[in-house]
Amino acid sequence: MKFVDEAKIFVESGPGGNGCISFRREKYVPRGGPDGGNGGDGGSVYLIGSKDLQTLYDLKIRPHYRAGRGKHGKGKKMNGRTGTDVTIPVPLGIIVLHEDEPLGEILKHGERLILARGGKGGRGNACFVSPTNQAPRHAEQGMSGEQMTLKIVLKLISNIGIVGLPNAGKSTLLKAMTNARPRIDSYPFTTLTPNLGVLRDNISNVVIADMPGIIEGAHEGKGIGMQFLRHIERTKLLVLLIDISSPKPRDQYTTLLNEFKRYKRALLEKPRIVVFNKIDLIDEVPHFKLREKMFYISALKGTGIDQLVKHLKNENQAKAG
Ligand SMILES: Nc1nc2c(ncn2[C@@H]2O[C@H](COP(=O)(O)OP(=O)(O)OP(=O)(O)O)[C@@H](O)[C@H]2O)c(=O)[nH]1
Ligand SMILES: [Mg+2]
């Protein structure tokens, strides 16, 4: 399924049904009282969070949603039926924007958010009986529904984000640690949209995101990595993956931190570790002096993966608890 992280949708709630003007007519009852029923409320449009969805693809291909209109009231005090609601399932971690203003977000499975409220049904004339007016000849019109164009933006909720330069081995690492089977290749920018994998644990699942590669100048739109950085804004931990067999591994580290800083300073405050990959390609492993906790692995050969996984699970639990 295609990964889509932004969609524009058009929602319309149903208008309320009109109230009815009617008088009772029965044999042997010469002057029946007013008996016009109320119109039904119009249907509303909602979003509902679903843990089974990962993308906004469905919204992209089907952008229009219209709830049902409320039925008009009838005689014999019959109220009109309520219009049918429309409930749109969305992945967790979406934000709804209306004219660029946030309207709400959905983070949990089953969480609902109303987008357009159905118009109220009008009251029938039976409602307007009063001591001074025994035979009211008016009823209310139903209220109209609401129409809106909304933007839905997905910020994946992953616990851990793997970031690094193109070809560092991010997808290979995701594959080594989780059930995910991302595309892996020897050219840069193999990964065009984030891949998610799940690290199973007795206590909770750790969701790991493998991001497209980040290059120098990414914050000003070079390459593709930066447009996905918003997805790691919510992660608890960043894994900076560095190709130790590259000519200047340390420069990769500096580039990444620089790009984070330029994109959004807050990214620098996120807890992070540094993982040096591809140790199978070098004879002697240089040891770097960095502030972060460091790991030396070969994602391809599986060296050092167990230790890394253990650390990630521990960190995830510590942060959750
Ligand atoms: N020798 C060796 N090669 C590796 C290792 N990890 C990854 N590779 C290779 O490096 C290349 C790039 O791997 P990917 O996992 O696609 O790298 P990536 O960081 O996801 O790349 P992009 O998605 O393009 O940013 C592939 O040819 C991998 O087989 C490793 O530990 N050792
Ligand atoms: Mg990749």
Q: Does residue 298 have a known ligand-binding role?
A: yes
Give how far the C-alpha of residue 276 lies from the chain's centroid of Cα atoms, to the nearest Å. Answer: 32
Ion ligand 2: residue ranges with CB closer than 5 A: 170-171, 190-191
Nearest atom, ligand 1, residue 165 CA: 25
* Domain count of the fold of the chain: 2
Is the domain of 186 the same as that of 128?
Answer: no
Quick check: 242 pLDDT over 90? yes
Is the domain of 173 the same as that of 52?
Answer: no
Query: Which protein residues are within 6 Å of ligand 1, measured from CB?
Result: 164, 166-172, 184-186, 188-191, 212-213, 277-278, 280-281, 298-300
Classify residue 1: in a domain, yes or no: no
Is the domain of 225 the same as that of 134?
Answer: no
The structure's pTM equals 0.67
Q: Give per-residue pLDDT as tens, 135-159.
A: 999 999 999 999 999 999 887 777 8
Q: Whose CA is nearest to atom 14 of ligand 1?
A: 169
Is the domain of 21 the same as that of 81?
Answer: yes
Q: Does residue 294 have a known ligand-binding role?
A: no
pLDDT of residue 287: 81
Is the domain of 82 the same as that of 167?
Answer: no
Rounded to 5°, angle at Cα 52 from 51 and 55: 95
Instruction: Give 30's contacts (C-beta < 8 A, 6+ positions apart).
Output: none
- Return the CATH number at 309: 3.40.50.300
Is the domain of 233 the same as that of 257?
Answer: yes
Q: Whose CA is nearest to atom 21 of ligand 1?
A: 167
- Return the CATH number at 14: 2.70.210.12
Quick check: 321 pLDDT over 70? no
Q: Give per-residue pLDDT as tens, 19-78.
A: 999 998 877 777 778 999 999 999 999 999 998 888 899 999 999 999 999 999 999 999
Range of the domain at 245: 160-320
CA of 74 to the centre of ligand 2 (A): 63
Distance between CA atoms of residues 171 and 183, nearest Å: 7
